[in-house]
Amino acid sequence: MILVVSSSLNPRSRSRLLAQAACERIEKMGRVLKFLDLHSHCLPLCDGASAYGEPAAAQATQWVTEASAVFLASPVYNYDVNAAAKNLVELTGRAWTGKVVGMMLAAGGQGSYMSAMGLANSLMLDFRCLVIPRFVYTTGEAFSDQDAIDPTVLVRIDQLVEETLRIADAVR
Task: Enumerate binding residues for ligand FMN (CB under 6 A).
Answer: 8, 10, 13-16, 75-79, 106-109, 112
Q: How far is the CB of 150 from ligand FMN (least distance, A)?
A: 14
Q: How far is the CB of 72 from ligand FMN (least distance, A)?
A: 12
**Among 126, 130, 3, 8, CA closest to 64:** 3
Distance separating alpha carbons of residues 149 and 87, to the nearest angstrom: 28
Residues 6+ apart with CB under 8 A from 147: 14, 17
Q: How far apart are the first and last CA of the chain?
A: 12
Q: How far is the CB of 76 from ligand FMN (least distance, A)?
A: 4
Nearer CB in complex with ligand FMN: 81/130:
81
The residue number with the shortest CB distance to ligand FMN is: 75
Q: How far is the CB of 105 from ligand FMN (least distance, A)?
A: 8
User: Phi and psi at residue 144, in whole multiples of 5°?
Assistant: -80, 175
Nearer CB in complex with ligand FMN: 8/87:
8
Number of C-beta neighbours around residue 13 at 10 A? 23
Nearer CB in complex with ligand FMN: 50/78:
78
